[in-house]
């Protein structure tokens, strides 16, 4: 099946997407758009891309394209997604999908009205290791899940022009790194929390640099999540059950292996190496969904994205980073 992609924002994450194009069943990267013409041309040359636009609107209106991957910083996602949807384009939008749940809902409503497919690019959930863990949970291998513990933390260099530390660009650790801890907790718990308790440390630029979050779920279940620009954590993810636990070692969001640990500490480790770099699984999923005429993924649903965004809204609001 022929499937042509366009891409907006040829930065670091877009490099990973372009490299994944060597996998089977993911389509072809046909066009790239960048407001920096030199950057766009260099990216196209590196990845043998036919067309370079210095105007996003031209990409939206390119009739050759079946879908667009939005890889720009998240504070631009809503504006760009709405413009692409207005032109009838299917979308894969890099995480976090938006800065707030309200913004995400605007995009999903526009997509429903237009009848186009839109999904947040939560690539980790599509990895074979995560699918193996999901199968173990479904089989009852760890019994009833009681909680999740995860961390995502690195010491970020202090550079004045860093987007991560820029409050005006919706910088901060929760939206950039913490989204992985929130999304994976929600994935395995399969229910929304009843209460959210958090402690947030704001850095000199005003963004959240360290967050500690507890998500309290029904029946006394709890997730403990850490994310930081200031500390190097173990960066593991553990799903606890009454008959064992599932362990993703560091760095859990790009896991190529996963372990099933029994209550007697017996360990079964399964290797699930990537075909290319891991992005190919979510890309292939999107291609298949669109080929089947779907407007929403049954795995990374709109509601799942909204639930994750609502949790982050609560934490950021309590830290004074979000009003209203």
Q: Are residues 132 and 265 in the same domain?
A: yes
Q: C-alpha 80: how far from its chain's center?
A: 17
Say how many domains are in the chain.
2
Q: Are residues 78 and 161 in the same domain?
A: no
Q: Are residues 71 and 171 in the same domain?
A: no
> Is the link from the previous residue into 80 a cis peptide, with omega within 30 of 0?
no
181 in a domain, yes or no? yes
Distance CA 71, CA 93 (A): 7
209 in a domain, yes or no? yes
Domain boundary among 103, 122, 141: 122
Q: Are residues 139 and 269 in the same domain?
A: yes
Predicted confidence at residue 89, as pLDDT, reads 98
Strand order in the sheet with 145-153: 195-202, 208-216, 222-228, 145-153, 237-241, 244-248, 257-262, 267-271
Domain boundary among 100, 122, 144: 122
Give the residues of the chain that fall short of pLDDT 70: 1, 324
Rg of the chain (C-alpha set):
20
Domain boundary among 83, 106, 122: 122
Q: Are residues 165 and 234 in the same domain?
A: yes
Q: Are residues 89 and 43 in the same domain?
A: yes
Q: Are residues 83 and 163 in the same domain?
A: no
Distance CA 238, CA 48 (A): 40
Distance CA 39, CA 154 (A): 28
Predicted confidence at residue 1, as pLDDT, reads 64
Is 3 in contact with 28 (CB distance < 8 Å)? Answer: yes
308 in a domain, yes or no? no
Distance CA 270, CA 256 (A): 9
Q: Tally Cβ neighbours within 10 Å of residue 162.
A: 15
> What's the CATH code of the domain at 60?
3.40.50.720
| pTM exceeds 0.85 for this model | yes
Q: Are residues 216 and 199 in the same domain?
A: yes
Q: Which two tokens stand for residue 84?
A: 């692409």
> What's the CATH code of the domain at 215?
3.30.360.10
Predicted confidence at residue 162, as pLDDT, reads 86
Q: Which residues constitute the domain of residue 140?
A: 128-273
Is 62 in contact with 54 (CB distance < 8 Å)? Answer: no
């Amino acid at each position: 099946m022929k499937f042509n992609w366009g891409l907006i924002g040829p930065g670091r994450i877009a490099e990973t997407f372009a490299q994944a194009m060597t996998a089977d069943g993911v389509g072809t990267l046909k066009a790239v758009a960048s407001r920096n013409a030199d950057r766009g041309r260099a990216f196209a040359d590196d990845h043998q891309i036919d067309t370079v636009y210095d105007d996003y609107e031209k990409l939206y209106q390119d009739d050759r394209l079946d879908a667009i991957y939005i890889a720009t910083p998240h504070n631009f996602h809503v504006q760009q997604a709405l413009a692409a949807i207005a032109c009838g384009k299917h979308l894969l939008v890099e995480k976090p999908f938006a800065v707030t749940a309200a913004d995400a809902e605007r995009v999903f409503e526009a997509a429903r009205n237009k009848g186009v497919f839109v999904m947040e690019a939560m690539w980790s959930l599509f990895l074979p290791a995560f699918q193996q863990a999901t199968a173990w949970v479904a089989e009852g291998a760890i019994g009833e899940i009681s909680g999740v513990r995860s961390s995502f933390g690195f010491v970020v260099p202090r550079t004045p022009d860093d987007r991560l530390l820029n409050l005006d660009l919706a910088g901060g650790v929760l939206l950039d790194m913490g989204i992985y801890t929130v999304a994976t907790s929600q994935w395995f718990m399969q229910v929304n929390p009843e209460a959210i308790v958090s402690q947030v440390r704001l850095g000199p630029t005003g963004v959240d640099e360290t967050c500690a979050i507890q998500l309290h779920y029904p029946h006394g279940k709890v997730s403990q999540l850490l994310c930081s620009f200031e500390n190097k954590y173990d960066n593991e993810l553990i799903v606890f059950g009454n008959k064992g636990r599932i362990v993703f070692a560091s760095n859990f969001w790009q896991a190529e292996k996963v372990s099933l640990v029994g209550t007697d500490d017996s360990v079964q480790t399964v290797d699930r190496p990537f075909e290319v770099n891991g992005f190919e699984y979510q890309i292939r999923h999107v291609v298949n969904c669109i080929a089947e005429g779907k407007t929403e993924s049954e795995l990374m649903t709109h509601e799942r994205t909204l639930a994750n965004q609502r949790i982050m809204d609560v934490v950021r609001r309590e830290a004074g980073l979000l009003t209203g």
